[in-house]
Structure 1
Amino acid sequence: MNWEQLLSLKRYGDTHKRLRKEQDETRLGFEVDYDRIIFSQAFRSLQDKTQVIPMSKTDFVHTRLTHSLEVSVVGRSLGRMVGKRLLEKHPHLKEVHGYQFNDFGAIVATAALAHDIGNPPFGHSGERAIGEYFKTGNGKQFKSQLTEKEYQDLCDFEGNANGFKILTETRKGVEGSLRLSYATLGTFMKYPKESLPKKPTKHIADKKFGFFQSDKDFFEEVAIELGLLQTRKGKDISFSRHPLTFLVEAADDICYTIIDFEDGINLGLIEEDFALEYLIKLVKNTINTDKYNALQTTEDRLSYLRALSISTLIWDAADVFLKNEEAILEGTFDRALLDKSNYKAQIEDIIKLSVEKVYRSSEVIEKEIKGYRIISDLLDTFCTAVTNSVQNVQTNYDKLILTLLPSRFIATTSCYQQLLQVACFVASLSDGKALDLHQKIKGV
């Protein structure tokens, strides 16, 4: 892979090449991408979607929106740090093509901003709930009407694939959805493969999948334009990651490691003294002990350690990327950047404690159970109404239910498209909207 191709400014429908040196510096294309996501309806809905604690009523627990903004900020710093060094190493990118180090920051920040845009309500349990409905619930009745990969798309419903759909799907009057630059779309594509085969290798890019069968053609177009290395051909396609995707992943890993931990402390799920000790171990080489000891409140101590921890991990992740740039460009670097961090042991200790005290807390589990039921009922109601309508056996109740389904989610083509659109509709709902809609269809 080569950086000039990877930094493509091309957008859906372009008939001419966009050159970096001809860009308006006051309205740079990569920054336009950021603006389009910020103003999108799908991004706004993240303000009421679970990060860790479903349907939390406290004002200090992170939602998908605040998490995405923080990941974007961290991603911007990572992109700028790496970009500055890459331009020194590859001066032709600046001298001949006009790229600046801020371009790298803008691309990573934008992809990071959108990284959770396709996630369903109720956190990762929302993804599992959609998948379980089609795998073991009433949705398994549709298996015979779908291809193997179409059925797998539904059984392993993936927020990353739904995010790619949201960012790129053409619908009437809206060509190419947000029409983001291909560089940004490529950086967003964390798992550039189909739903099958599942985990064919231990490479990090094969862990999940990144696009639905309905979006396969455009996915290939973006990957080929960017010069991503094709790792499988024929009936099963996959590509290597865009190098900057590793920085988006690192930004996400840094934020959820530190900030989910912080939420656990603020909620009282993790004891303050115990928790602060874990963070101090992470920053022991950079902490100013006099400054830390002068802080009087938990909030101030936690804020200081959080900022120092994130800064420490940003510098470390950038260093790992730059040391492994050649392998990353060759597609042979097969793990997350933090897996090679100098602080891997400390990170694992923090995550282990978060899993035990936060992710498996009774508050989280009880609300995830509630989310499972809500999503399963919504899918059953809407899938039944849609399929009954197509088969001309709809009841009056089905007709009423369909009035609640926005027109952009109504498919008139294949069974796969109809079911996928219903799944994507449910995934688009915020936690509060899903709860409200569930109460309506249940007559509560």
Structure 2
Amino acid sequence: MMNWEQLLSLRRQGDTNKRLRKEQDETRLGFEVDYDRIIFSSAFRSLQDKTQVIPLSKTSFVHTRLTHSLEVSVVGRSLGRVVGKKILEKHPHLTTIHGYQFNDFGAIVAAASLAHDIGNPPFGHSGEKAIGEYFKTGSGAYFAKDLTPKQYQDLKDFEGNANGFKILTESRQGIEGGLRLSYATLGAFMKYPKESLPKKPTAHISHKKFGYFQNEQPFFKEVAEEIGLITHTIENETTYSRHPLCFLVEAADDICYTIIDFEDGINLGLIQEEYALEYLIKLVKETINTNKYNMLTNTADRLSYLRALAINTLIQEAADTFIKNEATILSGDFDVALIDKSKYQAQIDDIIKISVDKIYQSSEVVEKEIAGYEILATLLNKYCTAMNNFNSNNASNYDQLILKAEGMNFDYKNEDLYTRLISISNYVASLTDGNALLKFQKIRGLQV
């Protein structure tokens, strides 16, 4: 059974002394410092040019990864505070002995929510697939013979969550421990606390993907042990139970993309307004103020009202579900997303189905995802080929030019092949949509 004292650890990478909550400066609380460090990071700022739904779209209506992450953090903060208040009522010693406040839960969930997409490549989820397929079926498959099964799995199933953990924690010259976030916030961020293998060993929600690359395994283990995550042995490999607050981060993301992607689709004209409003009304039929709604004559105002009501409805329900299942969550036996327990599941499924049909599979999205595949595969191929030829003492003049232009951005001289390949993949994933397109155009000689 996990315990809240450990789960709320304020420890940071490199600490030698224990950080106690009751000794914290209330004007500069450690969990709030996490939020500040994330929001001022270059990796977070780059999300402003990574679109949430429509890759490469410059339409003002469409959410970027940055605005989506900010919205998820707001929802996450509310979820954390509601849950935190109930947790402290059930476990008063957390306040009386240790000094924790309900806002601490909100701050942890808000910070982890803010960072939840920080490792995502350009061009949305197709960007992850493009990087993975370069190593699985593209030219990058050449490297498989020189990698361990787990190393190769990391590359051919390239995962934004694992890349995010790398960004948040990786030491660089002069920067030890990356952003040096509290272990509580890192725990709440760790959505899939396992390695890339075994792949999907069970139907547990935390086994759907993986959460760290091989190079980050030692520190991931350190964080998991410090915050007291439960260990499991599956197919002779160690996996961990989720940090309980990770369920709230996931719920905040689920709520936002369900409702707000739907709203984007309406604003883009991909979903008929009357049709869409009808579906949202079904979701909030128990809480809607009909008189107030009927007074709104503008479609945008009606949509805004329904969206706010829907998000609030789902926040309260997710928080209630968490509290009702706290013991099961702490034991590591809660195996689905909180939103999957929603009594509004039928309405949510209807909204997601329409979003899939009308937005995610729209011709505009599909065509631009195709472009994203070509762009990322080209960049990876140029960088990996130049790196490989350099390390084989066979670099052409063109390879040398590529490395001269881009080599400072990835570790192409490292003795370890896996480290070189992950470094290149991490760099390509860090590019914004526009920056990746510009580099592609320059490599192709389309722009000088």
Bin the TM-score by the shorter chain.
over 0.9
The CA deviation string for residues 121-163 of structure 1, in whole angstroms up to 9 with x for no partner, is 0000000000000000000000001000000000000000000
For 2:406 and 2:74, the matched residues in 1 are separated by 35
3-state DSSP class of the match of 2:120? coil
1:426 is the counterpart of 2:425: no
Correspondence 1:37-56 to 2 at 5 A: 37-56=38-57
Tell me which stretches of 4 or more aligned residues in structure 1 moved more than 3 Å: none
- Do the aligned partners of residues 147 and 104 (structure 1) sit closer, same or farther apart at CA in structure 2, a change above 3 Å counting? same
Structure 2 letter corresponding to 1:11:
R
Preserved contact between residue 73 and residue 109 of structure 1 (Cα < 8 Å): yes
Question: Which structure 2 segments of 5+ residues have no match?
Answer: none
For 1:235 and 1:441, the matched residues in 2 are separated by 45
For 1:408 and 1:351, the matched residues in 2 are separated by 38
The CA deviation string for residues 305-334 of structure 1, in whole angstroms up to 9 with x for no partner, is 000000000000000000000000000000
The CA deviation string for residues 55-112 of structure 1, in whole angstroms up to 9 with x for no partner, is 1111110010000000000000000000000000000000000000000000000000
Shift of 1:235: 5.7
Structure 2 letter corresponding to 1:421:
S
Match of 1:111 in 2: 112
- Do the aligned partners of residues 196 and 234 (structure 1) sit closer, same or farther apart at CA in structure 2, a change above 3 Å counting? closer
Match of 2:203 in 1: 202
Structure 1 letter corresponding to 2:415:
T
Correspondence 1:10-29 to 2 at 5 A: 10-29=11-30
Correspondence 1:132-147 to 2 at 5 A: 132-147=133-148
Preserved contact between residue 119 and residue 163 of structure 2 (Cα < 8 Å): yes
The CA deviation string for residues 28-79 of structure 1, in whole angstroms up to 9 with x for no partner, is 0000000000000000000000211011111110010000000000000000
Match of 2:67 in 1: 66
Shift of 1:408: 5.1
For 1:274 and 1:246, the matched residues in 2 are separated by 31
Match of 1:403 in 2: 404
Match of 2:190 in 1: 189
Structure 2 letter corresponding to 1:71:
V
Preserved contact between residue 171 and residue 408 of structure 1 (Cα < 8 Å): no
Match of 1:34 in 2: 35
Shift of 1:172: 1.5
Match of 1:381 in 2: 382
Preserved contact between residue 187 and residue 243 of structure 1 (Cα < 8 Å): yes
1:393 is the counterpart of 2:394: yes
| Deviates most, 1-10 or 395-404 | 395-404
User: How many pairs were matched up?
Assistant: 444
1:443 is the counterpart of 2:421: no
Structure 2 letter corresponding to 1:8:
S
For 2:304 and 2:369, the matched residues in 1 are separated by 29
Shift of 1:416: 0.4
Query: What is the RMSD of the two structures over their aligned residues, measured on CA atoms?
Result: 0.9
For 1:336 and 1:160, the matched residues in 2 are separated by 16
Preserved contact between residue 320 and residue 340 of structure 1 (Cα < 8 Å): yes
Match of 2:173 in 1: 172
For 1:403 and 1:3, the matched residues in 2 are separated by 50
For 1:375 and 1:100, the matched residues in 2 are separated by 45
For 2:110 and 2:297, the matched residues in 1 are separated by 34
3-state DSSP class of the match of 2:174? coil
3-state DSSP class of the match of 2:406? coil
Structure 2 letter corresponding to 1:38:
I
Preserved contact between residue 409 and residue 427 of structure 2 (Cα < 8 Å): no
Shift of 1:399: 1.3
3-state DSSP class of the match of 1:154? helix
Structure 2 letter corresponding to 1:414:
D
| Deviates most, 270-279 or 404-413 | 404-413
Structure 1 letter corresponding to 2:44:
F
For 2:36 and 2:407, the matched residues in 1 are separated by 25
Match of 1:220 in 2: 221
3-state DSSP class of the match of 1:231? strand
Shift of 1:221: 0.3
3-state DSSP class of the match of 1:286? coil
Match of 2:335 in 1: 334
TM-score using structure 2 length? 0.98
- Do the aligned partners of residues 248 and 406 (structure 1) sit closer, same or farther apart at CA in structure 2, a change above 3 Å counting? farther
For 2:183 and 2:407, the matched residues in 1 are separated by 29
Preserved contact between residue 118 and residue 164 of structure 2 (Cα < 8 Å): yes
- Do the aligned partners of residues 235 and 212 (structure 1) sit closer, same or farther apart at CA in structure 2, a change above 3 Å counting? farther
Match of 1:311 in 2: 312
Preserved contact between residue 128 and residue 157 of structure 1 (Cα < 8 Å): yes
Preserved contact between residue 80 and residue 105 of structure 2 (Cα < 8 Å): yes
Preserved contact between residue 147 and residue 418 of structure 2 (Cα < 8 Å): yes
Preserved contact between residue 190 and residue 205 of structure 1 (Cα < 8 Å): yes
3-state DSSP class of the match of 1:36? helix
For 1:392 and 1:37, the matched residues in 2 are separated by 40
For 1:232 and 1:222, the matched residues in 2 are separated by 18
- Do the aligned partners of residues 408 and 172 (structure 1) sit closer, same or farther apart at CA in structure 2, a change above 3 Å counting? farther
For 2:342 and 2:98, the matched residues in 1 are separated by 33
Shift of 1:413: 2.4
The CA deviation string for residues 367-426 of structure 1, in whole angstroms up to 9 with x for no partner, is 000000000000000000111111111111111111232535214121101111111100
TM-score using structure 1 length? 0.99
For 1:45 and 1:236, the matched residues in 2 are separated by 35
Structure 1 letter corresponding to 2:347:
Q
